[in-house]
Chain A
């Protein structure tokens, strides 16, 4: 039962352009969503989050958009830089223990 889905295993973007990573979810009870970034041989690191009561959150080059009616969120990176090449995971929080439910990840490749 995949409650959080990232349907694109990989994405290739030219340096300087916008990268858009997508995530869909099925459980309308999720109340918080997060994006994590992971480099090879390292653990995931927190990037940005959004509460379910908001539709946008921005932090520097990173913006997350939430469309609750479509159960869809996206991460925008503008402009994309070579150091952004990594695997990006979408995750949702559920329950009083604030456990994370993860998508399968999207590998972003920034081309010079």
Chain B
């Protein structure tokens, strides 16, 4: 069965760029949408954005100016970059398969496979 694993630095300095990678195993990254979601300590879930294997993306409007999601189909990976981070970006970051259809105006899908999550702390 498909499994997802997040990887990347657990500590990022304020104003720097957070970079995470999600590796998909047990299946192909093709034909699905893939999302990043985060959860600040003790709080709820926030969708960050999605990417299709073809490279099309869209992002949460509240984060759009700082987010880039990319895909490397040869490695079965997709990645997240979040620039100019502050303490408010401290969270557990999850990658997830999004089963459905996403476009430039909507993402009608459900996150049916999740990674275990990785904690990222923003601190000097």
Do A and B originate from a single complex? no
